[in-house]
Amino acid sequence: GNLEEDGTCRDAYTGTDEVVTAVCLKQYANVTAEPAIDSQGREEVALFDISDILSWNRTQMGEWWYWEGKERFPCHDKGDCLAHLPMAFHK
């Protein structure tokens, strides 16, 4: 990773604060973070407007930070990649 994701547990006010939080959870609580997706790869935490997430096509958009490190699922190219019962909406 880059300097924001250097594998250390610390205060982080960056776009990768979730990664740093996962490092701290593992280091101090022995908790391993897992992707927040359902069995079909649909997101359980909405990071963007719902209409955007439901219309995105991974192949057409190309690989950018949103897709980085994510396993590919059919919904990534068909849309409908938001879980039917999302846990959170992040803004």
pLDDT of residue 7: 79
Q: How confident is the model at residue 1 (pLDDT cuts 50, 70, 90)?
A: very low
Are the C-beta atoms of 15 and 31 separated by less than 8 Å?
Answer: no
For residue 15 the two structure tokens come to: 């776009």
Q: How far is CA 65 from the centre of its chain?
A: 9
pLDDT tens-digit map of 2-61:
556 677 888 877 777 788 889 999 999 999 999 899 999 999 999 899 999 999 999 999
